[in-house]
Chain A
Amino acid sequence: MQSIPEIEQEIVNEFALFDDQMDKYEYIIDIGKKLPALDARYMTDDFLVKGCQSKVWLHAYPKDGRIYFEADSNTAITKGIIALLIRVLSGQKAADVLSCPLTFIDSIQLRSHLSSQRSNGLTSMIQRMRAYAQAYL
């Protein structure tokens, strides 16, 4: 299992290949498309992360001392973003999920190009993931 900073660096390297923002988004959307489907029983309001216009359903479970995340979204871009977060955080130790600074988001320059609403959505997604980690500490 790679560490959180290692996976973050991997993602930063991948995004460095694009100089066009639209290509970055295309890549994010592709990553989202590959996200395994979330079981329908988790697609309820209880698992909803309140973003603005996009809906994100997030579920987590502990296994062998690690925490695993699964999610879905009704918008393609958000789904890609949550897929990136899952790639970084799913399968890690809860304590690491809580303490990691998550620098890749700034490094791939997504945040600056996301509307503030979306950034708020992003913040809520991360908060929700950390809240799960807290619960499974």
Chain B
Amino acid sequence: MKIFRNACPRNCYASCSMLSYVNNGKLVKVAGDDQHGYTKGNLCAKGYAFTQYVTHPNRLKYPIMQSPRSSGNWKRISWEQAYTIIADKIIELNERYGSNLASGYNKFSGNIGLLHYAAEAMFNSIGPHTKPKGNLCLTTGDEALKERFKQFEQSSPEDMAAADLIVIWGANPAVTNVPQMKYIFQARRAGAKVAVIDPVFTETAAKADLYIQIKPGTDGLLALYAAKRIADSSFFDENYAQDCTNNFIQFKRIMEKVPSADKVSELTNAPISAIEELAELYIHAASSVTWIGFGMQRTNIGGENVQAISALAAMTGFLQKKKGKLFYAHDDLEQFPLHLLKFPEQKHSKAQASRAIDINSFAKNALELSDPPLKFLWIASRNPFSQDNNLQSWMKLIQQLELIVTVDLYMTKTAEISDIVLPAATHFEEMDLIVSYWHHWISINEQSLAGYFESKSDLQITRELTNKLNERSPGFSTFPSELEALDWIQKELSPEIQELYGIQDYTDLLSGPHLKKPEKIPAKEKFSFNILDVSGYLENIKVQKDSLLFPYQLITPQSLLTIHSQYEHLSWLIGTDENSEDTIAEISAIAAEENKLMPEDSIEIFNENGWVDAKVKVNPYLAKNIVLVKQAGKKPINWIIVHQESDQCQETSTHFYDSKVNIRKKKVSRNG
């Protein structure tokens, strides 16, 4: 039996390091890694299911091709054939249009390993092309925090164990960040209070000492009220606050615009006693944690809410001598050289640069491109046909695409509409480096298994496909295909990174994950508050009018045992009680009564974008104007979600939670 060190590459807070036990080339079990200071030897259910994931019968084994598209008429092809078809198409398009702008990719966070940026490097190596820009997931919150703090440093999430107040705003770690619950419960055991503010009564809310259910999109107001109460309290040392900021007086003046408790209660829909109780907890806590979840920034008003909550975090943290901490996500990753992501774009005589289109409306924007139109699309680490918004635009886009290639491990919704599907490696079958966006540990991922049938890593595919391109058309790609995975890892571990993580080279990581050294906090430097326009924010809250046509807000959180649409095939996970074949729509008891619906009834959830069939589940804790549906599944709910661009900020996350819907009982046809 051999034991290897791996790291889970999923887009998840925890980025767990794990050990794989391999016997005769077979993965017999996985285990958590004691050396990992954050996960401390634990994995979540999905992590423990990897033994099933790796050899699941549904896993893709060979390159396959279907014709016609979407027919399901797949036939196995060799890698050589696949590379030839793809290379010939790229070269033909280049000849037809005089550049590679007709070729593009769509890739996101299906695997966050650094070497998975090989796909980006491949495209850069052929010169200007069409690419996505932006981040679906975190941008709105990121931008809001940057606006407030210039540089926001996130401390170690392990520190939550020492807080005496933890307030979780719209995050549900019991489902999406299970290892963090260990630290939250440690704090609680030591006497800390845990509060959860969320429109949905989540698994985490159920464990909190205080839960406040609020109207979606009004979190910030609750936070501003607490901030104002702190500023007014006798515990607050105003002189100290003035010492740390340039414009505290201005900030105070703004706080005066925060309405009274009864008005806040009216707008947030939370009782006055709840609002006061939260403020009191913040006032009396010696060390508080304010955790801003990703969910709340998935709306048009999300950025303002994040700003408002971060003002509260400032009031409980560095504006006082208190040790209040703010958590959201961090960008340690950006300190790495990211040689693959930033691989220099090959110069082109005519096309100046790549066309970068907003990933939030990728298909819609891609359809608008002409001269040349987008004709070839490469999809990796991504399942847009389940997880993106505006799938109607995607359906149109694929009409104009001459070749769609998807790299994945399973037959996803996106693979189903692709021409060629290439089998991807799991993290056990490739080497990689994993950097978290939540804790500060870096983990190496060793290759512990030989490739599964003919599966290959993104890097290997890039190496071979660029070779093929150069064979067909010398000099087409500048990618150094001779470099192996380890070479790229060594390049990432630059002298600065070695210094930052206290390592000499990659072999140090083989004996365990390493923690980033704490950043040196610059000697007390005055900072300026970028102050939220409270009046404007209040207006924005008020204009969120209820729509008569579509009275329900659609909220689509992650389900416990999948990450977006990943892991959907595993019986260890989906065989458990709470998963069903049908899409489940959770509605309130009032909504059930108003629509004369009973549990298990078949309904359609619909809006101007279309409809999705679902089965009713009455959730006694749900607010009456919310419909809650978990992501992914057979007919993904994203079919009726269309991102609405924000008029306030340029760069945003996808506003998945802005969708309004209605529900109706499904007519039973006579013929059954």
| Pair from one complex | no
